[in-house]
């Protein structure tokens, strides 16, 4: 029996584990468990639960309750035919074909599970990336990051504390600075505008009590998208009262605010860093795997690493030039497409079939501006070139992305049931999480 180990339970890793677990553990028609599966699939993640990363800005603002929407890996693994191991990758031994998982501790630092080893025949690295602080002084110590559910929840608790100070008139204004005019920065800005209005309905906070400044180093917001879309997003945010600073670079972050490259000080009680993406540093120390300056593992068009064909990498932690000789961007849709191709190739290896090559297809991008609107462009077989969409149609398309993610990991029947439950919760739950 082949041993397939997947490290990282993000969207791509979970999608891959779900598909491979079902393929090797169940018969194709009646979904009965096989007596002798051809492969055993193990998913490793340092968290017990999964939350779709594009929703983290909603967790941070309180529009989404992570405790209700998170998926439990252990339960999901049992249903879909794979095994789950709690832990984080510590080291790799390619000669012995084993990985070492770090020990698991409780909140007080007490050891729950000692360090242990897992053998593999094929290793899939889906570790993802995190915000790039570009080694700017003070950023790591004084800014919030939205790279995980725990970080988003920590931001939310801090936000509620500041709301309490506003409500009790300890402070008369809350200044928030968000660095990075990509999707995360734009979406968080809109969610915070909505959050302060909702809190005002519950208490005594004025709608203009929060002053939000969004800072982008490029000439327009959403630099990965056409300029027209970035300008439209800037126009919508400006109507909401968000201050937009484009063409500004940050030189330092302090406990009281940010300092621009021009020497100007931007006071801010809450500072969020959402600029740039890079892979974790420890990937450069994994038994000689070839990496680039962003710590990404360099892979072939089959998604096998250039160093070892038994190891695959995908998503934000992989540096890939696809079959069209185009560099694959660190985007969610790219990670999803990589997971699909990697699944095909693992099945091909186990069943002794030829491998496929990766071709990235840009389907467009959508950005949500909270309950107000959405904006973006669509690309694909039904659209020649690029089609810009806004308003309710864009909002509907944006919400459908999450439903497609749910369908990939649960199947359409469960996904539709979860959607109906979510719609029912809108009528019984507060619109903003206040704890």
Other CB atoms within 10 A of residue 180 CB:
25
Residues with pLDDT less than 50, the chain: 381-383
Q: Which CATH number fits domain 133-274: 3.30.360.10, 3.60.21.10, 3.50.50.60, 3.10.50.40?
A: 3.50.50.60
Class of domain 2-129+279-350: alpha beta
Confidence (pTM): 0.92
| Residue 147: per-residue pLDDT | 93
| Residue 372: per-residue pLDDT | 56
Q: What distance in Å separates the CA atoms of residue 131 and residue 279, rounded to the nearest whole number? A: 9
Where in the chain do CATH 3.50.50.60 domains reside?
Answer: 2-129+279-350, 133-274
| Residue 380: per-residue pLDDT | 56
Q: What distance in Å separates the CA atoms of residue 260 and residue 246, rounded to the nearest whole number? A: 12
């Amino acid at each position: 029996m082949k041993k397939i180990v997947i490290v990282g339970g993000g969207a791509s890793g979970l999608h891959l584990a779900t598909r491979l677990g079902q393929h090797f553990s169940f018969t194709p028609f009646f979904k009965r468990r096989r007596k002798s599966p051809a492969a055993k699939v193990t998913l490793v993640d340092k968290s017990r639960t999964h939350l779709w990363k594009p929703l983290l800005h909603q967790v941070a603002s309180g529009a989404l309750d992570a405790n209700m929407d998170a998926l439990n890996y252990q339960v999901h693994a049992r249903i879909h035919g794979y095994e789950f191991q709690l832990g984080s990758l510590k080291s790799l031994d390619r000669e012995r074909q084993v990985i070492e998982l770090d020990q698991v501790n409780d909140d007080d630092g007490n050891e729950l599970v000692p360090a242990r080893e897992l053998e593999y025949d094929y290793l899939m690295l889906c570790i993802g990336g995190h915000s790039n602080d570009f080694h700017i002084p003070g950023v790591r110590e004084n800014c919030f990051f939205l790279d995980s559910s725990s970080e988003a929840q920590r931001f939310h608790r801090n936000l509620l504390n500041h709301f309490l100070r506003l409500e009790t008139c300890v402070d008369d204004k809350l200044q928030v600075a968000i660095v990075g005019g990509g999707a995360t920065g734009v979406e968080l800005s809109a969610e915070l505008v909505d959050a302060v209005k909702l809190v005002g309905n519950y208490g005594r906070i004025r709608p203009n009590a929060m002053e939000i400044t969004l800072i982008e180093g490029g000439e327009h917001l959403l630099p990965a998208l056409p300029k027209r879309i970035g300008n439209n997003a800037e126009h919508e945010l400006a109507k909401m009262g968000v201050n937009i600073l484009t063409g500004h670079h940050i030189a330092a972050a302090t406990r009281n605010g940010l300092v621009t490259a021009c020497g100007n000080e931007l006071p801010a009680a809450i500072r969020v860093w959402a600029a740039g993406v890079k892979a974790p540093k420890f990937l450069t120390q994994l038994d000689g795997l070839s990496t680039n300056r962003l710590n990404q593992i360099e892979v072939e068009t089959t998604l096998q690493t250039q160093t070892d064909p038994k190891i695959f990498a995908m998503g934000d932690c992989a540096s890939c030039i696809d079959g069209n000789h185009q560099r694959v961007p660190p985007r969610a849709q790219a990670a999803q497409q990589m997971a699909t191709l990697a699944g095909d190739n693992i099945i091909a290896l186990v069943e002794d079939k030829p491998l496929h090559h990766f071709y990235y297809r840009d389907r467009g991008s959508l950005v949500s501006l909270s309950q107000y609107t959405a904006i973006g462009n669509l690309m694909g077989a039904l659209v020649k070139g690029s089609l810009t969409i806004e308003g309710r149609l864009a909002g509907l398309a944006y919400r459908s992305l999450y439903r497609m993610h749910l369908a990939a990991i649960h199947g359409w029947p469960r996904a539709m049931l979860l959607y109906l439950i979510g719609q029912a919760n809108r009528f019984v739950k507060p619109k903003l999480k206040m704890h």
